[in-house]
Amino acid sequence: MPRAFTHDERVEFRGMLRDAARRSIARYGLRRTRVADLAADAGLSKGAFYIFYDSKEDLFLEVFALTEQEVRQELIAVAKEEDLPPRERVYNLLSLLFQSLERHPELLVLSQPDEARILWRAMPAGERESQREDDERFYESLFQTWVDQGVIEELDPVVLAGLPLLVSAVASERDSIGPDRFNALTGLLLEALADRLVSA
């Protein structure tokens, strides 16, 4: 029977399990990530895993939610860099979208329908749609603020809110494109988008 854990141990082991999940998802995907491996990576028995999470899907949902919060805070900080020229602000934000996928490669599995389906099935009814709408509102608001400030052209924020999906789709092809060519092409893409979006 798994032993009891102190509050501090619970906090520490939950963090270790989240880190283990990030590594495993990035390497193996959602389907091939096993509870026993996650537990072992965090220094726990398989039985002890269930003290912290009801299922690996619950752990996955928490990992993605926390990562999304972190990325959003980074985007908000970059969007508010008012001391920089508009084009540089736009370029930095678009670049950060790509960088966030490099720093959080687990996010790329969401662009794979079979993998993402595992996560969606674990969500309570209606939550997936609610999260999608929340994502749309976040990006629409971010770009609308820039439109209002004259940082970017008066383009439809609803359209611009699709940029993270575009970035994810492009980033998912990094291996097939090749790292060197991918970096060169994304650089060109970022330059072209920044030039187009910045207000004249």
* pLDDT-based confidence at residue 121 (cuts at 50, 70, 90): confident
Single-letter amino acid, residue 110:
L
- The mean per-residue pLDDT over the stretch 6-20 comes to 95
pTM score: 0.87
Which CATH number describes the domain made up of 55-197?
1.10.357.10
Average pLDDT, the chain: 92
Q: What is the pLDDT of residue 152?
A: 94
Residue 126 main-chain phi, psi, to 5 deg: 85, -15
- The mean per-residue pLDDT over the stretch 66-86 comes to 94
Query: Where along the chain do its domains lie?
Result: 1-53, 55-197
- The mean per-residue pLDDT over the stretch 104-118 comes to 87
The CATH superfamily holding the domain 1-53 is: Homeodomain-like (1.10.10.60)
1-53 against 55-197: fold identical: no
pLDDT digits over 144-163, tens only? Answer: 999 999 999 999 999 999 99
Q: What is the pLDDT of residue 164?
A: 92
